[in-house]
Structure 1
Amino acid sequence: MVLWLLILLPALAGGILLAVGRKADGAAAPVSVLVAVVLLGLAVAAALLRPAVEAPGLEGIPAGLAVDGLAGAAVVTVTGIFFAVVVFAGADLGPTEARARFFGLMLLFGAAMLTTVTSTGILTLLGSWELMGAISYALIGYWWPDAARVRSATLAFITTRAADLGMYLAAGAALAGSAVAGAAGGPGPAGGAAGLRLDSLAGMPSGWRDAALAGLALAALGKSAQLPFSFWLSHAMVGPSPVSALLHSATMVAAGGYLLLRIEPGMAATGWLGLAVSWVGALTALLLGAVAFAQRDLKQLLAASTCSQIGFIVLAAGAGSVAGGGAQFVVHAAVKSLLFLVAGLWLTALGTKDLLELRGVARGPANGPVLGYRIAGITFTAGALALGGLPPLSIWAAKDEILAGVLQESPALYIVGLAAAAVSAAYAAKALAVVWAKPATSVSGPAKPAASASDANPAAAAGKRQQHPLPTAALLPLPVLATAAVVLGVAGLPALSRWWQDLLGLPETSTPEPWELAVSGVLALAVIGGIYGQQTRRLLRDGTLLGAPSGNRLKTWLGDWLGLEHAASVLVTRPTMALAVSLAQFDDRVLARSVDAAAVLVLKAATGNDRRIEHGISAAVGSLTGAVRQLARSARRPQTGLVHQYYAQAIIALTVLAALFVVLR
C-alpha cells in the first residue's frame, strides 16, 4: 500500500491540476507542498519497510515495483529534493504564471522518477522512462510562447530520445534471450517474465545479455548527458530555475547513473561493458569539468558540472563501486539542487546569469536588505565547496569512495578521475571568487534584463544593477540543503562506510586508504585556494574571467561544449527534423489528399445511389404505402355501426362463399 501511494498520489494530484487548469492556479503551490510532505513520509516508510508490488502488464509479464537498499536511498533523496524545490517554486514563480500547469507537470515528473527508481523490470522502467522524457520536454519548454525555448526543449528531447532507442533494443533482446533460455530448459516463465527483470539480465545467454545491457547503458548515458550526449543539458537551462534544480539533481539526469548502478552485476558479467562505461564516465567528468570552467554563464557552469559529477556515478557503476556511486547520487542531489536554487534566486532578483554581472552578489546590495543575499551567498558557498571536493564535505568523501574502487580496477582510470576531481575544484573556486568579489562600482539604477549577459561590458553593467529583496519563502530550503551538503560526507568516511554498505545491502567493498583521502583533500584545497586567489586578482586587475573564451581556440571549443551540438545536429537533430518534415509533407500531400479524394468519391457514389436506386425504391415504397392506406380506408366503409347493414353484409358474404363452394366442387 505504501509503494502504491508513493507512485499514485503525485500522479493523481498532478493529473487533477492539469485537468482543472488555470482555475487551480491559486491552490497549486499549497497542494503540491502538501503532497510533497506526504511523499517524504511515505518514502521514509518505504525505505524502512522495503515493500514490493506487482500489477498485470503484458501477457505473462507483470509490471513490478520494489524498494531495496539502493531504491530506498533513492526514493528518500528524490522526495526530499522534490519537497525543497516545490517550496522554492511556490515563492519563485510569479502570480501570473500558469501555476497549475507547472506544478501539475512537476508532480507527474516526480511520479515518473519514483517509478523509475523502484522498477524491477524493463517493462515498468520503459513506461516511466518515456513519461519522464515527455514531461521534461514540457517543463523545459514551459514558457512555450518563446520559440527559442521550445527549440531548446525539442533539441533536448530529440537527443535523449535518440539514446532511448537503446531501451527498446534492451527490451527486445531480453525477451529473445529469455525465450532462448526457456527453450533450453532455463528459467523464464512464459519466456519473458524473468528475462525482463533487471536482476535476471546477468544470467541470460551471452549474446542477448550483452545486447540488452548495452541498450540499457546507451539509454542511461543519454539521459545522464554523458559523452557524446552532454550538450543537451546546456539547452535544458532555458526552463524555470526550479525545473533546472530538480532535473539536474535527483531526477532525470541522475536517473541514468542510478540505472547503471542497478544493472552493475550484468555489466560485470559481460566482461567489457563495465570498462567501456567507466571510461565514458571518467572522460565526461574530466572534459565536462573543463567545459564548466570555461563558462561565463552561471547556469551553464552548473549544467556542465552536472555532467561532470554524474560522470563519477557512471564511473562508479562501471568499476563496480555501487556504494560509492550511491553515495554520490545522494550528496550530489543535495549539492546541485542547492546551487541551482540560489542561482535561480539571483536570476530572479537581478535578471542575469552572467558571472561578471553577478560579481559580488553574495555580499548583498550596498544600500538595501542584505540578510537574504548573505543567506544565499553562504549556502551557495557551502554547496560550491562541497562540489569542489573540499574535505570533510560530502562530495569529497563520496568521490574517494568511488576512486578507491576504481584504483583496484585501473590505475589509469584513477588518475583521470583524480584529475576530474581537481577540475571540479577549479570551477567551484572560480564561481566563488566571482560571487564574493568586491563589486566594481556602487549599486544603483534599474534592474538589467537577462539578455544583458551578451553586453559588451558586463563589468560596467554590474555597477548599474538593482538588487531586489529575495523572497523569504524561497530562502527556507537553502539552509537545510546546505547542511546536507556539509554533513552527509561523514557517511563516506572509512569508519562509517560499512554502515552505508549494509544499508544498501551490498557486500563489503574496498574503502579509501588514509593516503587516498589525504591526496584528494590536499589537491582540492590547493586548487580551490589557487584558483580563488587567481580569479580574485584578475577581477581586480581587469575584470575578466579565468577560462572564458577570448579568441583562444581551445577556450572557444570548451565554451561551446566541445562542439558536440554541431556534431549531433549533423548526425541526429537535422536528419530527424528533416525526416519529420518529410513525413509531415507526405501526410499533407499524399495521405490527407487521398483521404479527401476518397471522401469525395464516397459522397459522389452516395449521391448517385440516391438518385438512381434510392429514388426508385422510395417511390415503390410510397406506392405500396398508398395502396395499403387506400385499402385501410376501404375496409373502414362497411363499419357503419348499423345492425341491418351487418346482416346484409353477412348474407352477401355467405352467398359468395356458397357460390365458390358450388363452383370449386
Structure 2
Amino acid sequence: MFLSEIFSDPAFSLVPWVVFFPLAGIILNLIFSRRWEEKLTALTACLAAGGSFVISLLLMLALTHHPEGATITLLEWINTGSLQINWAFRVDTLSVTMMLVVSGVGTLIHIYAAGYMHYDVRINGDPSRYSRFFIFFNLFILAMMLLVSADNYLMLFVGWEGVGLCSYLLIGFWFEKGADGIANARAAKKAFLVNRIGDVGLLIALFLMFWNFGSLQFDTVFARAPEVAAATPAVLLAMTLFMLLGVAGKSAQLPLYVWLPDAMAGPTPVSALIHAATMVTAGVYLVARSHTLYSLVPAAQTTVVWLGALTALFAATIAVAQNDIKKVLAYSTISQLGFMVAAVGMGAFTAGLFHLTTHAFFKALLFLAAGSVILGMEDVRKLDETNLSDSFHHSHVDPQDMTLMGGLRRKMPVTFWVYLMGALALAGIAPLAGFFSKDEILAAASQNGLLVFLVLLAAAFLTAFYMGRQLWLVFFGKPRSENAENARENTALIVLPLILLAGLTVLGGLLNFPGSLALEGWLEHTLGKGINGEFNSMVAGISLIVSITGLVTAWFVYSRYSGEIKKLDPLEDMFGAVFIGARNKWYVDELYHAIIVRPLEGLSQQLAQPVDQGLIDGIAVGFGSLTKAIAQSWRSIENGFVRSYALALLLGIVLIFSYLVIR
C-alpha cells in the first residue's frame, strides 16, 4: 500500500482485511481441520466471517467522517500498453453497505451452519465433510467481499467468477445424492452453465468498455461515459444490455432464472447464503455501481425496469403452487430480486438497495427457519440422544414437503414465531422491515408508470398469498404425518441466529424510516439523488391493503383443509390446468430442454467422432506420434560408449573449423 493512502485515514487502510480474514480461515482449516474437532473448525470459520464484519463496521465509522471515501491500492496487477489495472479496494458508501450486509448476515449464517451441519453430515453419512463445508463457506464470503470492494471491473469480475465457483461447489456439496444419485450434481452443473451464459454477456460488455474507454477502472469509465454516449450511443446501449445479461444470470432474472430453484440441492445454510447475502445480490450491485452508464441510456433503463417487473410477477405465480418449503422461498427470492432490479433500473437506487438489505435479513431468517423445520421433521435430536455419530437413517417421508407438515407451531414454538416474523416481513406487513423497503419501490414505480406499478402490485399480492399458504400448511392445522407429530424444537446454536435475524427483521425498517431517510443520505455520496422513493402514504396504504388481502385469501382457502392429507390442493380444485401449469413451473425447463439442451446434445453426439475424436484428438495424437518418432530416431546417438561421444565431439570441432576457414 502507498503510505499516502495509509495515513489519509488509518481505518481505510484496513479494507484488504475484509478479504484477508476469510482467506485466513480457509488456510487454517485446510491445514489443521483434520486434527481439530468440529467446534474448532466451525469457530475458525465463524471468526473469519466475523472479522470481515468488524472491519466493515470500522470502514462505516471512517466514512461518517470522510464520506468521500478512498481507494486503497494493494499492488500493481496489470500494466501493459495503455491498460493499467491495480489490485485496489474502493471504500465508499455503496461498497461498505454491501460489505456490511454480506459479512453481517454471512456471519450469522456461519453460526447457524455450525449447528446445522453437525446433523446434516451425519444424516448424509459423511461427517468428514464438515470441515470441507466451512472451507467452501469462507471462500464464498471471500469472493463476494472481493466483488463488492473492487475498484475496477476486472477485479469485480474475479469476485463475480469466484461466487459462481462457490455456488457450484456448495450446490453440489452432496454431489452423489438426489434422484438416481446424480440430481445434486446436475443442479450444480446447471447453475454453473447458466451463469456462464450471463458471464459471456458481462465479458462482452467489458471488451466493449476497454475498446471505447481504454480503461476498466470505475472513475475513468464514468468520467468518459458522457463523451462516448454523445459520439456513439449505440455502443453504450450494447454495453449496458450485455451487462444486463450478466445481471440476469447472477440475480436470477428472466430468462436465466432457472438455476436458482435447483440450487436448493445444497444444504440449507447454502441456500440462505446464496439467496440472502451473496451471489444473487451481485447483479443488483452491478447495476447500482454502473448507474452512470445506465442513466445515459434510457432504453437500457426501461429494459432493466421491465425485466425486473416481469420477473417479479412470473416467479410469484410459480411460488403459489410449490409444495417444497425451500422451493417456495427460492421462487420468492427470484420475485423479490425482480423488485430490486426494477428499482435500480428506474433510478430508485436507495429503494433497491434498501430492499436488498431488508430482504437479506428476512430471507436469511426464512431459509434458516425452514432448515430448522426440516431438522425438526427429521427429529435429528435423537442423534445426540443415541450418540449415532456416523450415520443416520432417513425417514421415508420427505421432510421438505409442506403437505406432510401441519401443527408445528406447538411442536416448534420458537421456529414458528421467528418464521411468522419473516413471512409477514416478506408479505409487506407494517411495521416490519419489508413493508418500508417494498413501499419505497412501489412509490418509485408509481412515478415511473401505472403499468409497472400494477405489475409490481400484483406480484406483492401473490407474495402475501403464497406466504400465507406456507404458514398455514407448515404451522397450523393438525400434523399430517408421523414426522410432524414427533417434531421437536432445535438446539440453541440453531435457534439463536434465528432470533437475532428476527430482531433485524423487526427493526430493519429504521435504516431508512420515513422522516429520517438515513440510508438515502448515506448512499447519495456515491449514487447521487436518483428518483425520489420516499414514503407515500397513499401507495403505502394501497400496498398494505393488498398484502393483507393476500394473507386473508390464503387463510380463507386453506383453513378449511386441515387434518388429513388432501390429494388435491384447494387451488387445483379451483383453477385446474392453470394451477398444474404453475406447479410445473410453466414448463420452462422442459421448453429449454427441447429447444436448447436436446439439440445441442444431438449435435455433440454427431460431431464427437469426426471433430472431437477425429480432428482435435488426431492433431494432438499426431504431434505426440511425431515427437515420439523423432525421439526414437535420435536416441540411438545416446549409446553409452565414450568412443562414440569422442568421435561426435571431434566431428563437431572439424565442422566448426571448416566453416570458419571457408568463411
> Shorter-normalised TM-score: what interval?
0.7 to 0.9
Distance between the aligned counterparts of 2:571 and 2:36, measured in 1? 46
2:76 to 56, 61, 76: 56
Of 485, 507, 510, the residue aligned with 2:529 is 507
Cα offsets for 1:244-265 (capped at 9, x unmatched) = 0000011101211222222233
Q: Which amino acid aligns with 1:45?
A: L
Whole-Å separation in 2 of the counterparts to 1:310 and 1:155: 20
Distance 1:624 1:388 in 2: 88
Alignment correspondent of 2:112:
88
Q: 2:100 aligns with which of 56, 76, 81?
A: 76
Q: 2:3 aligned with 1:3, yes or no?
A: no
In 2: Cα distance, 1:267 partner to 1:319 partner: 10
Q: Does the C-alpha gap of structure 1 residues 595 and 517 become closer, same or farther in structure 2, counting only changes over 3 Å?
A: closer
TM-superposed CA distance for 1:58, in Å, is 2.4
Q: How does 1:382-393 map to 2 (within 5 A)?
A: 382-393=421-432
Q: Is the Cα contact below 8 Å between 2:319 and 2:328 reproduced in 1?
A: yes
The CA deviation at 1:573 is: 4.3
Structure 2 equivalent of residue 17 of structure 1: 29
Q: Distance in 1 between matches of 2:624 and 2:242?
A: 44
Name the aligned partner's letter for residue 535 of structure 1: Y
Q: Is the 8 A contact 1:289 1:308 kept in 2?
A: yes
Question: How far apart, in 2, do the equivalents of 1:579 and 1:99 lie?
Answer: 41
Task: Note the C-alpha offset of 1:22.
Answer: 4.0
Specify the code of the residue in structure 1 equivalent to 2:198: A
Of 196, 199, 222, which residue of structure 2 is paired with 1:164? 199
Amino acid at match of 1:138: L
Rate the CA distance shift 1:282–1:494 in 2: closer, same or farther, 3 A: same
Q: CA deviation at 1:127?
A: 0.9
One of 34, 41, 61 as aligned partner of 2:54: 41
Distance across 2 between alignment mates of 1:310 and 1:64: 29
Q: CA deviation at 1:413?
A: 0.6
**Does 1:494 pair with 2:514?**
yes
Question: Which residue identity does 2:139 align to in structure 1?
Answer: L
1:105 corresponds, among 136, 140, 143, to: 136
Instruction: State yes or no: 1:133 paired with 2:160.
Output: no
Q: Which residue, 124, 127, 134 being the options, matches 2:155?
A: 124
Equivalent-residue separation in structure 2 for 1:169 and 1:43 (angstroms): 32
Letter matched to residue 100 of structure 1: S
Which residue type is aligned with residue 515 of structure 2? Answer: A
Show CA shifts across 1:125-180 (max 9, x none): 1111011101110010001223210011101111111111111011111011114x
Q: What is the alpha-carbon distance in structure 2 between the residues aligned to residue 490 and residue 52 of structure 1?
A: 30
8 Å contact from structure 2 (residues 432, 509) kept in 1: yes
Aligned 8 A contact 2:433 2:505 in 1: yes
- Counterpart for residue 360 of structure 1: 407
**Does 2:594 correspond to 1:563?**
no
CA contact (8 A) 1:294 1:546 kept: no
Determine which of 22, 45, 69 is the counterpart of 1:32: 45
Which AA in structure 1 matches 2:111?
V
Specify the SS of the correspondent of 2:516.
helix
Preserved contact between residue 406 and residue 478 of structure 2 (Cα < 8 Å): yes
For 1:153 and 1:171, locate their aligned partners in 2 and report how far apart those are by CA, in whole Å: 26
> How far did residue 554 of structure 1 move?
1.7
Shift of 1:61: 2.7
The 5 A counterparts of 1:54-453 are 54=73, 55-59=75-79, 60-94=84-118, 96-146=127-177, 147-179=182-214, 193=217, 197=221, 201=225, 203-205=227-229, 206-351=233-378, 352-364=399-411, 373-440=412-479
Distance 2:109 2:607 in 1: 40
Q: 1:20 Cα deviation (Å)?
A: 5.5
User: Which structure would you say has the larger Rg?
Assistant: 1
Q: Report if the CA contact (8 A) 1:288-1:304 is conserved.
A: yes
Within a 5 Å distance, the mapping from 1:478-493 to structure 2 comes to 478-493=498-513
Q: TM-score, normalised by structure 2?
A: 0.82
- Give, in whole Å, the separation in 2 of the partners of 1:250 and 1:139: 15
SS in 2 for 1:227: coil
Q: 1:533 to 1:12 in 2, by over 3 A?
A: same
Residue 575 of structure 1, CA deviation: 5.8
**Letter aligned with residue 472 of structure 2:** A
2: CA distance between counterparts of 1:34 and 1:52?
Answer: 26
CA contact (8 A) 1:230 1:564 kept: no
Deviation at 1:98, TM superposition (A): 0.9
Whole-Å separation in 1 of the counterparts to 2:600 and 2:222: 31
Letter in 2 for 1:77: V
Could you say what secondary structure the match of 1:252 adopts? coil
Given that 1:260 and 1:317 are in contact with CA atoms closer than 8 Å, whether structure 2 keeps it comes out as yes
2: CA distance between counterparts of 1:576 and 1:199?
A: 43
Distance, in Å, in 2 between the alignment partners of 1:16 and 1:582 is 48
- CA gap of 1:270–1:72, structure 2 versus 1, over 3 A, is same
Aligned partner of residue 61 in structure 1, secondary structure: strand
Taking the aligned partners of 1:139 and 1:201, their CA distance within structure 2 comes to: 38
Counterparts of 2:363 and 2:580, CA distance in 1: 26
8 Å CA contact 1:13–1:104 kept in 2: the answer is yes
SS state of the match for residue 58, structure 1?
A: strand
Q: CA deviation at 1:24?
A: 5.1
> How big is the shift at 1:403?
1.3
Residues 286 and 601 (structure 1), Cα distance of their counterparts in 2 relative to 1, 3 Å cut: closer
Residue 474 of structure 1 is matched in structure 2 by 494
Give the distance between the partners of 1:504 and 1:550, measured in 2 at CA.
47
Q: Which amino acid aligns with 1:80?
A: G
Identity between Structure 1 and Structure 2 (%): 27
**Is the Cα–Cα contact under 8 Å of residues 377 and 484 in structure 2 kept in the other structure?**
no
Moved more, 265-274 or 472-481: 265-274
Question: What is the aligned length?
Answer: 585
Preserved CA contact (<8 Å) 1:122 1:197:
no
- Partner of residue 631, structure 1: none
How far residue 533 of structure 1 moved from its aligned partner, in angstroms, is 3.0
Counterpart of 1:532, as a letter, is: W
CA deviation after TM superposition for structure 1 residue 601, in Å: 4.5
Q: Distance in 2 between matches of 1:354 and 1:411?
A: 38
| Deviation of the 1:468 alpha carbon | 4.5
**Of residues 576, 581, 584 in structure 2, which corresponds to 1:552?**
576
Q: CA deviation at 1:616?
A: 11
Q: Distance in 2 between matches of 1:583 and 1:23?
A: 49
Unpaired runs of at least 5, structure 1: 180-190, 365-372, 441-458, 626-665
TM-score in terms of structure 1 length: 0.82
1:527 aligned onto 2:550: yes
Tell me how far 1:525 sits from its aligned partner: 1.6
**Residue 524 of structure 1: CA displacement?**
1.2
**Structure 2 unaligned blocks of 5 or more:** 1-12, 64-69, 122-126, 379-398, 650-663
Moved more, 87-96 or 574-583: 574-583
Q: Residue 354 of structure 2 aligns to which amino acid in structure 1? A: A
Q: Name the CA shift for 1:304/1:600 in 2 (closer, same or farther; >3 Å).
A: same
* 1:449-490: CA deviation from partner (whole Å, max 9, x where unpaired): xxxxxxxxxx4x357753245122111101111111112124
Match of 1:93, SS state, is: helix
Deviation at 1:415, TM superposition (A): 1.1
- Call closer, same or farther: CA 1:283–1:427 in 2, change over 3 Å: same
Task: Check conservation: 2:361, 2:501, Cα contact below 8 A.
Answer: yes
Q: What CA RMSD, in Å, does the superposition of the two structures yield over aligned residues? A: 2.8
